[in-house]
Amino acid sequence: MANLKEIRNRITSVSSTMQITSAMKMVSAAKLKKAQDAITAMRPYAEKLTELLQNLSATLEGEVGGDYTTQREVKKVLIVAITSNRGLCGAFNSNVIKEVKTISDRFQGAQVDIFAIGKKGHDSLKKTHNVQGHHNAIFDNLTFDNVAGIAEDLTQKFTSGEYDRIEVVYNQFKNAATQIIRAEQFLPLAPIKSDKPVATGDYIFEPSKEEIVLTLIPKSLKTQLYKSIRDSFASEHGARMTAMHKATDNATELRNQLKLTYNKARQAAITNEILEIVGGAEALKG
């Protein structure tokens, strides 16, 4: 059994760790509320934009979408991995990295490159994959305009023929305790399918339907990427809050166990001292 001083030092150390994890939990909870409100407010807009694009495309004959829908033989693939800049958030980053490796294995025979959004994904994936670019500062000022620049760059890489397919991997926010790993095809645009009835009517479109669709597609791509990063941002704080909550609970349990061990060791030390005193007194009597 460790001596009393060692146990006291461990109790102090665990208590300090518990204070840190508890503070980090509260910080993440505050940030989560803002990030959750942002993604919740954005989803209706993104869904309505997709619905509008579906309804217009369904009323057009033939394939409409220009360079965005071009299907080519997949020889070069770009995977956009969205992670965080910081750790201490459980399996948040490792799940994305694992999914990226799964997708990479699926495209056997093709060149697979990585575009990392987030420092943790960049640092890990550059050891095993060809990372062509990264953007770690986006979370410092997460706005639609900043993300739109990244989306335009990705779109240009596809339309120029540099890549034949672009995939986006991220954590979708469900609630503070649950994040769902998502892998979505960014480009080329998949054929739009919807079970909802197409809105029909005698409408006059200005400009033409084709021009409206071709204008909506770039905006839809920017919105899709922005929503993915927003989802990931909210998921990160939810994962970190949950991880720090569990860490605080574990530290509390460990501290209680150490206090019990300390009390037992102290009681044993006092008993030994009493026995020594009694033994000495008996020896003097003899």
The bridge status of strand 178-187 relative to strand 165-175 is antiparallel
- Burial environment of residue 46 by CB neighbours within 10 A (0 to 12, 13 to 18, 19 or more): middle
- SS3 label, residue 248: helix
pLDDT at 285: 81
> Which among 50, 27, 37 has a CA at the least distance from the CA of 240?
27
* pLDDT surpassing 70 at residue 59: no
* 114 and 56, same domain (yes or no): yes
**269: CATH:** 1.10.287
What average pLDDT does the segment 210-235 reach?
90
What average pLDDT does the segment 141-153 reach?
93
Does residue 285 sit within a domain? no
Q: How far apart are CA 45 and CA 51, in angstroms?
A: 10
pLDDT at 60: 62
What average pLDDT does the segment 43-63 reach?
73
pLDDT at 214: 81
**232: CATH:** 3.40.1380.10
Does residue 284 sit within a domain? no
Task: Give 157-212 pLDDT, tens digit per residue.
Answer: 999 999 999 999 999 999 888 999 999 999 888 765 555 555 555 567 677 777 88
Domain count, the chain: 2
pLDDT band with cut points at 50, 70 and 90 for residue 145 = very high
Active-site annotation holder among 89, 169, 189, 251: 89
Neighbour count for residue 192 (Cβ, 10 Å):
16
Does residue 283 sit within a domain? no
* 247 and 108, same domain (yes or no): no
Task: Give 120-142 pLDDT, tens digit per residue.
Answer: 999 999 999 999 999 998 998 99
CA dihedral defined by 43, 49, 50, 56, rounded to 10 degrees? Answer: 160
Contact status, residue 182 vs residue 170, Cβ threshold 8 Å: yes
The overall average pLDDT reported for the chain is 88
* 272 and 179, same domain (yes or no): no
Q: How far apart are CA 92 and CA 183, in angstroms?
A: 14
Contact status, residue 30 vs residue 241, Cβ threshold 8 Å: no
pLDDT at 188: 87
Measuring CA to CA, how many Å separate 136 from each of 79, 99, 121, 158, 196?
Answer: 16, 20, 10, 22, 39
Percent of the chain whose predicted confidence (pLDDT) is above 70:
90
* 33 and 58, same domain (yes or no): yes
pLDDT at 34: 92
* 142 and 30, same domain (yes or no): yes
What average pLDDT does the segment 21-42 reach?
93
* 96 and 187, same domain (yes or no): yes
DSSP string over 93-151:
HHHHHHHHHHHHHHSTTSEEEEEEESHHHHHHHTTTSEEEEE--GGGGG--HHHHHHHH
Domain containing 109 equals: 24-239
Q: How far apart are CA 131 and CA 157, in angstroms?
A: 15
* 196 and 64, same domain (yes or no): yes
Is 199 a residue of the active site? no
Does residue 286 sit within a domain? no
pLDDT band with cut points at 50, 70 and 90 for residue 4 = confident
Task: Give 80-102 pLDDT, tens digit per residue.
Answer: 999 999 999 999 999 999 999 99
* 223 and 247, same domain (yes or no): no
Q: How far apart are CA 103 and CA 169, in angstroms?
A: 9
* 9 and 87, same domain (yes or no): no
**Greater confidence, 46 or 173?**
173
pLDDT at 283: 83
Does residue 164 sit within a domain? yes
